[in-house]
Amino acid sequence: MSKTELNEDQRTILKALYNLAEPSGCKAIGDASQLNWRSVMGKMRGLSSKGLVESPEKGKYVISEKGVKVIS
């Protein structure tokens, strides 16, 4: 999988983050994406390493500009 290839869950997480108005934790992201929060937590590190999400504070995430471009 290349750096910008995403599976369905990763794309769903990014779309949920895009729609959330503030930095959010895995539980809120899970609720917004209809995925289990543990599944979200497991995927956040990979999304972060690809530069698709940022963490402005511990345990909270926002979609990065790169992430927005990938789902656009």
Q: Strand, helix or coil at 5?
A: coil
* Residue pLDDT, tens place only, 36-59: 999 999 999 999 999 999 999 999
DSSP code for 56: E
Domains of the chain and any CATH numbers: 8-71 (1.10.10.10)
24-35: average pLDDT: 97
Tell me how far the alpha carbon of residue 13 is from its chain's centroid.
4
Burial label for 8, CB within 10 Å (0-12, 13-18, 19+), is exposed
Regarding pTM above 0.85, the answer is: yes
Residue 50's Cα: distance from chain center in Å? Answer: 11
